[in-house]
C-alpha cells in the first residue's frame, strides 16, 4: 500500500511489528538513505555533509555508501549551494539541501523566498521547485545567539513553501520522502536538542502525513498546541497536571505552513481552552497567528482567553542557566494552564 508516496507494509492484526531502537539523528539518516536508494535523482548537499558526516553527525557514513556525486560537500556559502539546489530541482533532480542552522539560512533567504517560493507563480505555473531544505533549529545546546534561535515561524509566513517540524522519531524518518515527492519547496526544521533522543521505530517505513497535525495526548480540559522540542515539555507538563486531575490534550502541530486549522479547532471544541507553546519569540510569532485563527474561527468555543508560552525576547544567552530561562519550560506551561483554568 502507498500512502503519501511512502510505501507501507500491511501486516495481519495478530502479527507483531518488528521494532528497533535508534536515535532521532539515526532516524533522519535512515530517511536520507532510504530516499537515495529509492530514487537515483535524490542527493544530499551542504557544508561538511560528506567527509565530516554533518555538523550534527546526521550524514555520517553516507559518503562511503553513496559516493561524492550524491553526498556533496559544498563551500561555506549558503546562498550559493541553496541556489544550486534550486537549479538542480528545476533540472529534474530531487536535492536535499542541508543548512547547518536556521540562523545561517538567512544568508540564503533571497534564494528561498525570492526564488524557490515564487518561481511557480512567476513562471505562470510552468516550473515547480521540488527542493527539500533541512536545517537545525532551536536553543538548548549552548550555541549562543547566532546558532540557537527558532526562526521557522518566519518561514511559515511565506506563500509558496511548506514548513514542517518533525518532533518524534517517526516523523523524523517519515517526513522526508513525502517532502521530496511534493512538487513545491519543503523546509524541514530539526530541533538540535532532539538529535540524541532515543526511541523505537518499526523496521519497515511508516507513512507520515505532512499536511496534518496530530494529537499526541488526548484530553478534555485544555488544549496545549505546540511543536518541535516543546512537544516533550508539553507532554511532561501534561503529566504533572494529570496528578492534580487536570486532563490536558497535547497537539503536535508539526506542520506550520499550511497550519492544520481543522485539528486545532476540533481540539478546541472539545476542551474550550488553549495554551500555545512556541520556542520562538512572542511578538509577531507563529503563536500569535494560531491565537488569531482561534479567535476568528472558534471565539464562541472559548471559555477563557488563549494563553501563550514563548521564548524570552532576547538574543539567546550562552550561559546554561540563562539559556534555560530564555526557553519555555514545563513549569511555565503548567502555570499557564492553571491560569487558563482559573
Report residue 324 CA to chain centroid gap.
21
Compute the average pLDDT of residues 251-255. Answer: 98
pLDDT interval class at 15 (50, 70, 90): low
Q: How far apart are CA 117 and CA 47, in angstroms?
A: 23
Asked about 313 being catalytic, the answer comes back as: no
Task: Write down the catalytic residue from 78, 98, 152, 289.
Answer: 78
**Is the distance from CB of 12 to CB of 211 less than 8 angstroms?**
no
> CA nearest 26: which of 163, 233, 196?
196
pLDDT at 14: 52
Which helix (H) or strand (E) segment holds residue 295: the answer is helix 286-298
Q: Is the pLDDT of residue 255 over 70?
A: yes
Give the other-Cβ count within 10 Å of 302's Cβ. Answer: 16
Q: Is the pLDDT of residue 10 over 70?
A: no
Q: Can you read off the three cell numbers belonging to residue 169?
A: 522519531
**Is the distance from CB of 258 to CB of 323 less than 8 angstroms?**
no
Q: How far apart are CA 21 and CA 195, in angstroms?
A: 14
Least confident of 149-163, 203-217, 278-292: 203-217
pLDDT at 82: 98
- 207 burial type by CB count under 10 A (0-12 exposed, 13-18 middle, 19+ buried): middle
Compute the average pLDDT of residues 46-64. Answer: 95
Compute the average pLDDT of residues 257-274. Answer: 98
pLDDT at 17: 79
Q: Is the pLDDT of residue 1 over 80?
A: no
pLDDT interval class at 204 (50, 70, 90): confident
Q: Is the pLDDT of residue 206 over 90?
A: no
Instruction: Say which residues have a Cβ less than 8 Å from residue 136's Cβ, sequence separation at least 6.
Output: 55, 56, 100, 101, 102, 189, 190, 191, 192, 195
**Is the distance from CB of 215 to CB of 251 less than 8 angstroms?**
yes
pLDDT interval class at 11 (50, 70, 90): very low
Least confident of 37-51, 131-145, 198-212, 327-341: 198-212
Q: Is the pLDDT of residue 76 over 60?
A: yes
Structural domains of the chain, ranges and CATH numbers in brackets: 2-202 (3.40.50.970), 214-341 (3.40.50.920)
pLDDT interval class at 54 (50, 70, 90): very high
Q: How far apart are CA 12 and CA 122, in angstroms?
A: 49
**Is the distance from CB of 100 to CB of 82 less than 8 angstroms?**
no
Report residue 63 CA to chain centroid gap.
25
Compute the average pLDDT of residues 171-192. Answer: 97
Task: Write down the catalytic residue from 147, 279, 289, 323.
Answer: 147
Q: Is the pLDDT of residue 89 over 90?
A: yes
Q: How far apart are CA 181 and CA 176, in angstroms?
A: 9
pLDDT at 208: 92
pLDDT at 159: 97
**Is the distance from CB of 272 to CB of 340 less than 8 angstroms?**
no
Which helix (H) or strand (E) segment holds residue 23: the answer is strand 19-23
Q: Dump pLDDT digits (tens) for 275-310.
A: 999 999 999 999 999 999 999 999 999 999 999 999
Which helix (H) or strand (E) segment holds residue 104: the answer is helix 102-105
Asked about 200 being catalytic, the answer comes back as: no
- DSSP class per residue in 127-190: -----EEEEEE--SSS--TTT----HHHHTT-TT-EEE---SHHHHHHSHHHHHHSSS-EEEEE
Q: Can you read off the three cell numbers belonging to residue 42?
A: 535524490
- 44 burial type by CB count under 10 A (0-12 exposed, 13-18 middle, 19+ buried): buried
Mean residue pLDDT across the chain: 94
Amino acid at each position: 500500500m502507498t500512502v503519501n508516496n511512502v510505501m507501507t507494509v500491511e501486516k495481519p492484526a495478530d502479527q507483531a511489528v518488528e521494532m528497533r531502537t535508534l536515535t532521532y539523528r539515526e532516524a533522519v539518516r535512515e530517511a536520507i538513505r532510504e530516499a537515495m536508494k529509492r530514487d537515483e535523482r535524490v542527493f544530499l548537499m551542504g557544508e561538511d555533509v560528506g567527509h565530516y558526516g554533518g555538523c550534527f553527525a546526521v550524514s555520517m557514513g553516507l559518503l562511503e555508501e553513496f559516493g561524492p556525486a550524491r553526498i556533496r560537500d559544498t563551500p561555506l556559502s549558503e546562498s550559493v549551494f541553496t541556489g544550486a539546489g534550486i537549479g538542480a530541482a528545476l533540472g529534474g533532480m530531487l536535492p536535499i539541501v542541508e543548512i547547518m542552522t536556521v540562523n545561517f539560512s538567512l544568508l540564503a533567504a533571497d534564494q528561498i523566498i525570492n526564488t524557490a517560493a515564487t518561481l511557480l507563480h512567476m513562471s505562470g505555473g510552468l516550473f515547480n521547485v521540488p527542493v527539500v531544505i533541512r536545517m537545525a533549529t532551536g536553543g538548548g545546546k549552548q550555541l549562543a545567539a547566532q546558532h540557537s534561535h527558532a526562526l521557522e515561524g518566519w518561514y511559515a509566513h511565506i506563500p509558496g513553501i511548506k514548513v514542517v517540524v518533525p518532533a518524534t522519531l517517526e516523523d523524523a524518518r517519515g517526513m522526508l520522502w513525502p517532502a521530496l515527492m511534493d512538487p513545491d519547496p519543503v523546509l524541514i526544521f530539526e530541533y538540535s536538542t532532539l538529535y540524541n533522543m532515543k526511541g523505537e521505530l518499526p523496521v519497515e517505513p511508516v507513512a507520515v502525513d505532512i499536511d496534518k497535525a496530530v494529537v499526541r495526548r488526548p484530553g478534555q480540559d485544555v488544549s496545549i498546541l505546540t511543536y518541535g522540542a516543546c512537544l516533550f515539555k508539553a507532554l511532561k507538563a501534561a503529566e504533572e497536571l494529570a496528578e492534580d486531575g487536570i486532563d490536558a490534550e497535547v497537539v503536535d502541530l508539526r506542520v506550520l505552513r499550511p497550519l492544520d486549522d481543522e485539528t486545532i479547532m476540533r481540539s478546541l471544541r472539545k476542551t474550550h481552552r488553549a495554551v500555545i507553546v512556541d520556542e520562538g519569540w512572542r511578538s509577531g510569532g507563529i503563536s500569535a497567528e494560531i491565537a488569531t485563527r482561534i479567535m476568528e474561527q472558534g471565539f464562541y468555543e472559548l471559555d477563557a482567553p488563549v494563553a501563550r508560552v514563548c521564548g524570552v525576547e532576547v538574543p539567546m544567552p550562552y550561559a546554561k542557566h540563562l539559556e534555560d530561562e530564555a526557553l519555555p519550560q514545563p513549569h511555565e506551561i503548567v502555570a499557564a494552564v492553571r491560569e487558563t483554568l482559573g
